[in-house]
Amino acid sequence: MHHNISFAKYRYLVFAILGTAYILVFFHRLAPAVVAVDMMSDLKAGGALIGVLASAYFYPYGLMQIPAGLLSDSWGPRRTIVFFFIIGAAGSFALGFAQTLGMAIAARVMVGLGVAMVFIPTLKILTHWFEREKFVRMSGLLMSLGGVGAYTASTPLALLSDAITWRGSMIVIGALTLVISGLVWLLVRDTPEQSGFQPINPCAPEHCEEQKIGLFCGIIMVLKRRQFWPMAICSFFGSLVSLSFSGLWGGPFLMNVYGMTRTRAGAVLSAMAIGMVIGAPVMSWLSNQVFHSRKKVLILSQLGGLCVFAPLAFFTGDFSETELYIWCFSYSFFMSSLVVVGYSAIKDSFPIQISGTATGTLNIFPFAGAALGQPLIGWYLDSVGAVDGRYPVDAYSAAFKMCLFCLLVAFIASILVKETFPQKQASA
């Protein structure tokens, strides 16, 4: 041991740096919601086009989920994160300086491409640094940090853009993204051995040659497995609604229908982030300790999300501000199960060597949902039309009824998900 810092401390440092990177991933993903109204007037764009701009992040993000696993395996997760995070930083700078909508969309594609390579490589690094039972806890914690990132994209971003404009904010975040990629390069290592520590899993699946499954075979295995599809459909439709609302249309909705300032809308939306931070560990606990079931928690939470969303679709303009806070929190709280329970269920369904491929493949669906949902809602709003540059209540109501239908599909899909909770533990 040539280290003056203990292994236990060092691995939490590794986690802290990667966790900060993941906070930024969520920040970039949801930032348009708070600044959408400014961007619309600044870049002279209507709802459908701003939908395209916001969703431009999700196309490359979704498409890169499978290469993320592949690059982590071949090129190494640390290099992958650093190289792509620099692209994300460049995209953020470019967005701050964009003069036309086309430039802004291109910049947003770069951001999506750059930050797409954090989640899967981070999980891969954590499998080397943490034992299996700790890994479950650390990945849950990583999800909660995503919620922290979602929070920074609400009130803090609103205050920052009040102070230095939305463009200034994007440039500051670009600089921060660069700093973090530097820290990953300097301090993070793919495995404990690379830092001179003992490996914790002497035979990690990647090193046990006889078990290797090629990437292509892995993807085919995942797609052929019947139980993969209900979860994928549930993720697609659930995220279509959640990411479209929290990542783009929630802000304009609160500003247009409830006449809120950007900062107040940001504050209400931050309740969604808090719902996710609290919801992720609670859902995990309910699944492992209370119900001893992945499926029951998934069905109950999808039903919860559906019931919470229904009043918004029918009484779109009739909420008090307090009710809006409660609504944002509860909706997000229920929907956080998609990630925690959903990913565990998929991980349990496949051999460990392709668990990365399986999660990567599943990870395409929520982002495909968001990529479709954001412009679709914008198109709905445009079809009713703006009045004095604002969309009326009827426009949002029509869009939210379409969302309610999507949540119904997600709920039906959750009923078809196969139970994967390990039986051995069920008695414990």
The pair of three-digit structure tokens given for residue 345, joined into one six-digit string: 């269920």
Q: What is the pLDDT of residue 234?
A: 96
Choose among 218, 203, 247: nearest CA to 70. Answer: 218
The pLDDT-based confidence of 82 (bands split at 50, 70, 90) is very high
In a domain? residue 425: no
In a domain? residue 426: no
Q: What is the pLDDT of residue 272?
A: 93
Q: What is the pLDDT of residue 333?
A: 95
Q: Which residue has the higher pLDDT, 355 or 233?
A: 233
Neighbours of 425 (CB within 10 A): 9
Q: In the chain, how many domains are there?
A: 1
Distance CA 347, CA 127 (A): 13
In a domain? residue 202: no
Q: What is the pLDDT of residue 201?
A: 65
The pLDDT-based confidence of 202 (bands split at 50, 70, 90) is low
Distance CA 242, CA 106 (A): 24
Q: What is the pLDDT of residue 426?
A: 44
In a domain? residue 225: yes
In a domain? residue 203: no
Q: What is the pLDDT of residue 427?
A: 41
Q: What is the pLDDT of residue 211?
A: 54
Distance CA 161, CA 21 (A): 21
The pLDDT-based confidence of 2 (bands split at 50, 70, 90) is very low
In a domain? residue 75: yes
Average pLDDT of the segment spanning 70-77: 82
Average pLDDT of the segment spanning 228-246: 94
In a domain? residue 2: no
Average pLDDT of the segment spanning 177-184: 97
Question: Rounded mean pLDDT of the chain?
Answer: 88
* pLDDT one-digit tens code per residue, 314-354: 999 999 999 999 999 999 999 988 877 777 777 778 776 67
pLDDT at residue 237 is higher than 50: yes
Average pLDDT of the segment spanning 199-210: 55
Strand partners, 387: 390
Q: What is the pLDDT of residue 222?
A: 87
Strand partners, 390: 387
Q: What is the pLDDT of residue 159?
A: 92
**Contact 414/302 with Cβ under 8 angstroms?**
yes
* pLDDT one-digit tens code per residue, 24-69: 999 999 888 888 889 888 988 888 889 999 999 999 998 898 788 7
The pLDDT-based confidence of 428 (bands split at 50, 70, 90) is very low
Q: What is the pLDDT of residue 131?
A: 80
Q: What is the CATH number of the domain that holds 19?
A: 1.20.1250.20
pLDDT at residue 419 is higher than 50: yes
In a domain? residue 208: no
* pLDDT one-digit tens code per residue, 257-305: 999 999 999 999 999 999 988 998 888 889 888 998 889 999 999 999 9
pLDDT at residue 150 is higher than 70: yes
Average pLDDT of the segment spanning 145-164: 90
The pLDDT-based confidence of 179 (bands split at 50, 70, 90) is very high
Give the range of the structural domain holding residue 257, as residue numbers without chain letter. 7-193+214-420
Please state, in angstroms and as integers, the Cα–Cα distance from residue 130 to each residue in 78, 120, 192, 356, following that order: 16, 15, 10, 16
pLDDT at residue 374 is higher than 90: yes
The pLDDT-based confidence of 124 (bands split at 50, 70, 90) is confident
Dihedral, CA of residue 301, residue 302, residue 308 and residue 310, to nearest 10: -160
Q: What is the pLDDT of residue 133?
A: 67
